[in-house]
Chains A and B, each alone.
Chain A
Amino acid sequence: MAYTVTVGKTRWVFEDLRTLMARATPPRSGDMLAGIAAGSAEENIAAKMCLADVPLKEFLRECLIPYESDEVTRLIADTHDAQAFAPVSHLTVGEFREWLMSDAATTDALEALAPGVTPEMAAAVSKLMRNQDLILAARKCRVVTRFRDTIGAPGTMAVRLQPNHPTDDFKGITASVIDGLLYGCGDAVIGINPASDNPALLADLSRLLDGVIGRFEIPTQSCVLTHVTTTIDLIDRGVPVDLVFQSVAGTQKANESFGITLDILRQGREAGLSLKRGTVGDNVMYFETGQGSALSAEAHHGVDQQTCEARAYAVCREFKPLLVNTVVGFIGPEYLYDGKQIIRAGLEDHFCGKLMGVPMGCDICYTNHAEADQDDMDTLLTLLAAAGVNYIMGIPGADDIMLNYQSTSFHDQLFVRQVFGLKRAPEFERWLQRAGIADGDGALLPQHRRHALLGLVA
Chain B
Amino acid sequence: MGEPAETDVVAFNAFQTVDPWRELKAYTDARIALGRAGPAMPTREVLEFSLAHARARDAVHARFDAKALCDGLTALGIPVAEARSRAGSRDEYLRRPDLGRTLHPGSREALAGGFRLPVDIVLVICDGLSAKAVHENALPLVTELRPLLNGRGLNVTGVVVNQGRVAVGDEIGELAKARIAAVLIGERPGLSAADSLGVYLTYAPRPGCSDAQRNCISNIRAAGMPAAVAARKMMRLMEQALELKLTGVGLKDDDETAPLLRAAEPETNT
A369 within 8 A of partner (CB): yes
B144–chain A nearest beta-carbon distance, Å: 24
A216 within 8 A of partner (CB): yes
Stretch from B3-11, B62-70, B174-182 contacting the other chain: B3-11
Stretch from B26-34, B114-122, B150-158 contacting the other chain: B26-34
Contact call B3/A178, Cβ cutoff below 8 A? no
Q: Given contacts A368-B53, A369-B129, A411-B40, are A176 and B19 in contact (CB under 8 A)? A: no
Contact call B188/A29, Cβ cutoff below 8 A? no
Encoded as 1 (CB less than 8 Å from any B CB) or 0, chain A from 207 to 247 comes to 00000000010000000000100000000000000000001
A95 within 8 A of partner (CB): no
Residues in chain A near residue B32, CB distance under 8 A: 175-176, 178-179, 396-397
Residues in chain A near residue B110, CB distance under 8 A: none
A337 within 8 A of partner (CB): yes
* Chain B residues numbered 149-196 whose CB sits less than 8 Å from any CB in chain A: 188-192, 194
Considering the complex, give the chain B residue whose CB is closest to the CB of A454.
B21
Considering the complex, give the chain A residue whose CB is closest to the CB of B193.
A404
Contact call B30/A369, Cβ cutoff below 8 A? no
* Chain A residues numbered 240-258 whose CB sits less than 8 Å from any CB in chain B: 247, 257-258
- Bound CA–CA A297/B210 (angstroms): 12
Q: Given contacts A367-B268, A368-B56, A414-B39, are A334 and B94 in contact (CB under 8 A)? A: yes
Contact call B24/A175, Cβ cutoff below 8 A? yes
Contact call A404/B188, Cβ cutoff below 8 A? yes
Contact call A332/B41, Cβ cutoff below 8 A? no
Q: Given contacts A332-B266, A397-B45, are A178 and B95 in contact (CB under 8 A)? A: no
Q: Given contacts A397-B31, A397-B45, A449-B21, are A332 and B39 in contact (CB under 8 A)? A: no
Number of interface residues of B (CB under 8 A): 54
A90 within 8 A of partner (CB): no
B84–chain A nearest beta-carbon distance, Å: 19
A63 within 8 A of partner (CB): no
Contact call B191/A169, Cβ cutoff below 8 A? no
Contact call A178/B41, Cβ cutoff below 8 A? no
Residues in chain B near residue A417, CB distance under 8 A: 39
Contact call B266/A331, Cβ cutoff below 8 A? yes
From the candidates A258, A333, A396, name the one contacting B264 in the complex (CB within 8 A). Answer: A258
* Chain A residues numbered 311-360 whose CB sits less than 8 Å from any CB in chain B: 330-335, 337
A to B contact number (C-beta, < 8 Å): 179
Residues in chain A near residue B265, CB distance under 8 A: 247, 330
Q: Given contacts A175-B28, A176-B28, A368-B60, are A296 and B266 in contact (CB under 8 A)? A: yes
From the candidates B5, B50, B189, name the one contacting A368 in the complex (CB within 8 A). Answer: B189
A182–chain B nearest beta-carbon distance, Å: 7
Residues in chain A near residue B59, CB distance under 8 A: 368
B209–chain A nearest beta-carbon distance, Å: 15
- Bound CA–CA A173/B30 (angstroms): 9
Contact call A182/B30, Cβ cutoff below 8 A? no
B1 within 8 A of partner (CB): yes
Contact call A399/B95, Cβ cutoff below 8 A? no
Interface residues on A, range: 35 or more
Contact call A257/B264, Cβ cutoff below 8 A? yes
A373 within 8 A of partner (CB): yes
Q: Given contacts A333-B95, A334-B95, A411-B34, are A448 and B10 in contact (CB under 8 A)? A: yes
B17 within 8 A of partner (CB): yes
B190–chain A nearest beta-carbon distance, Å: 3
- Bound CA–CA A369/B25 (angstroms): 28
- Bound CA–CA A406/B263 (angstroms): 19
B245 within 8 A of partner (CB): no
From the candidates A331, A374, A446, name the one contacting B53 in the complex (CB within 8 A). Answer: A374
B1–chain A nearest beta-carbon distance, Å: 4
Contact call B5/A447, Cβ cutoff below 8 A? yes
Contact call B30/A399, Cβ cutoff below 8 A? yes
Contact call A451/B1, Cβ cutoff below 8 A? yes
Contact call A396/B60, Cβ cutoff below 8 A? no
- Bound CA–CA A292/B189 (angstroms): 21
A106 within 8 A of partner (CB): no
Residues in chain B near residue A216, CB distance under 8 A: 1
Q: Given contacts A374-B49, A453-B1, are A33 and B28 in contact (CB under 8 A)? A: no
Encoded as 1 (CB less than 8 Å from any A CB) or 0, chain B from 82 to 100 comes to 0000000000001111100
From the candidates A166, A173, A182, name the one contacting B19 in the complex (CB within 8 A). Answer: A182
- Bound CA–CA A106/B15 (angstroms): 44
Most chain A C-beta atoms within 10 Å of own C-beta, residue among B32, B50, B59: B32
Closest 6 A-B residue pairs measured CB to CB? A397-B31, A414-B39, A404-B190, A172-B28, A179-B32, A368-B56
Q: What are 18 of the A-B contact pairs (CB < 8 Å)?
A: A165-B30, A171-B27, A175-B24, A175-B27, A176-B28, A369-B188, A397-B49, A398-B49, A399-B31, A399-B191, A404-B190, A406-B53, A411-B34, A414-B36, A434-B1, A435-B1, A447-B19, A454-B24
Residues of chain A whose beta carbon lies under 8 Å from any beta carbon of chain B: 29, 32-33, 163-166, 169, 171-176, 178-179, 182, 197, 216, 227, 247, 257-259, 292-293, 296-297, 330-335, 337, 367-369, 373-374, 395-399, 401, 404-406, 409, 411, 414-415, 417-418, 434-436, 445-454, 457
